[in-house]
Structure 1
C-alpha cells in the first residue's frame, strides 16, 4: 500500500492529535483522573493512570473504572470530569516542547492542517486559547472523536477530517503520541508519525507500513519537507 510518506505517494494533509502532540496535557489530565479514581476506591498511582488512560476519551475511562469498581458511576461523571479538565486547562495548559515553532514552520511549508482528538471541543478550545494555538486551528479544522461519539482507537475522527478536507485517507499523515491514536490512524489507512521519546516502547502493533517515529517535534517539518521533495515529478 502506498502511503502519504512514500516517494510514490501524495502528501496533502497533516492531521494532529492534540494531547501530548500539541498541548502538554496528558500528564495533568491523567493525574486528575487518578485522583478521582482513588477518591472512588480504585487504588491507582499517577504513573499507572498515565499508562492506562493516556489518549483515552473520558467516557472510556469511566467505563474502565466502573468495571474495576463492579458498579456504575453517576451518569454525569464523564461530564463533571470534563468540566474539571476544562477549568484546569484554562489555567495550566502548556505547549509541547517545540510545538509553536513547528506550527509556524508548518504554515511556511504551506501544508493544510487539521486536529483530530479524543478531547471534547470545549477542552481543546481551552487548551488552544491558553497556549495561543487558536490562530493555527480555526474552529472548522478541529474535530472531536468524543463529541462524535466514536473515540479512538476507532478511525472515525481521522476519516472525517480527511473527508472535510476533500482528501483521500492515503494522502494524509497523522501525528500521534499514544497507542490508541496510532491504532486509529492505522485503521484509517493513514500514515502515522509517532512522537515518542527513544527510551519509551513502541505500540505492540508497531511498526506499521508507511509510518515513522520521531523523538521531538523539531524533526517533523524537515521530515515532511523531505517527503514533499521526494514526491515532486522528475
Structure 2
C-alpha cells in the first residue's frame, strides 16, 4: 500500500478532517470523477482539442494540451484558443467539439486499469456511489456503454457538471450529488485525478482521494490522501470503515 497508516486521523488531531474519514465520523457516500478515474478519455479529448487549436493557428502539442486543458470546461477552452490565436471562435464551438468527442468515445474510450474490479469491490462494501464529472451526460453515456461500466453504474446516479451548469472547481456538482443521496457533504469521499476536481471536493467540505502517480506534485490539505493505482482505493475505504466501526463500539 502507498497510503500512509494515518489515512484515518485520530479524533484529537482531526478537527479539519471531514467526518467521512474520521474514526469518530461516518463514511456514507463515494463520489467518482469520470475521466482519469474510471475512463481513460481525457487524453483522447485533449488531443482532439490540441488538433483544433493547431487548426486555428496555435502550435500546441498533444502533451501541452493535456496539461493545460485537463479538467477544463469546453467553453473556457474555446475562449483560451481564441485568445492565443487572436481569432473569433464559432459561437457554438463548444457544442461542435462536444459532438465530436461523443462520437470518438463511442468507439475509442477505454477504462482506467482496474476500474471494473474496483467498482465491484466498492459495491461489495455496501457503500452507495455517484458520478460527478464536467463531461456531458451524452459523453458519459458513450464512455460507460462502450467500456461496459454501465452495468455497474445506474444512470440516475450519473451527474454532469456541463448539463447542470455546475462545473468544477465549483463545489455545486458534488454538493448536488450528496443532496440527492440525502447525506451531508462531510460524510462523502471523492475519488479524483485532477487539481480542478480535488479543489471542488475541498470547497464542498468533502474528503478526497487523489489518484495520481506518486512521483508527481499534488495539492495538500486535511482530508486529502493519495493513491497511485485504483486497486488501492477499496482498501482505503475498508480501513476507514473498520476504524469507524471500532470507534462506534468504543463509544457504545
**TM-score, length-scaled by structure 2:** 0.89
Give, in whole Å, the separation in 1 of the partners of 2:36 and 2:174.
17
Shift in Å, 1:201: 1.5
Matches within 5 A, 1:30-41: 30-41=46-57
| Large movers: runs of 4+ above 3 Å | none
SS at the partner of 1:147? coil
Does structure 2 retain, via aligned residues, the 8 Å contact 1:2–1:9? no
2:195 to 171, 179, 204: 179
Q: CA deviation at 1:150?
A: 2.3
Whole-Å separation in 2 of the counterparts to 1:75 and 1:106: 42
Per-residue deviation, 1:195: 0.1
- State the partner residue of 1:67: 83
Q: 1:62-88 deviations in whole A, cap 9, x for unaligned?
A: 122122223431111101101101010
Structure 1 contact 15–172 (Cα < 8 Å) conserved: yes
Of 81, 104, 121, the residue aligned with 1:105 is 121
How many residues are treated as equivalent by the alignment?
231
Residue aligned with 1:64, SS: helix
Q: Which residue, out of 74, 95, 108, partners 1:92?
A: 108
Q: CA RMSD in A?
A: 1.0
Q: Supply the distance in 1 between the matched residues of 2:83 and 2:169 (Cα, whole angstroms).
A: 19
Query: Equivalents in 1 of 2:165, 2:79: separation in Å?
Result: 14
Structure 2's unaligned 5+ residue stretches are 1-15
Q: Larger radius of gyration, structure 1 or 2?
A: 2
For 2:89 and 2:43, locate their aligned partners in 1 and report how far apart those are by CA, in whole Å: 24
2:220 paired with 1:207: yes
**Equivalent in 136, 143, 146 of residue 130 of structure 1:** 146
3-state SS in 2 of match to 1:200: coil
TM-score by length of 1: 0.96
Classify the secondary structure of the residue corresponding to 2:226. strand
Instruction: Find the aligned partners of 2:151 and 2:73 in 1 and give their Cα distance.
Output: 25
* Mapping for residues 119-158 of structure 1, pairs under 5 Å: 119-158=135-174
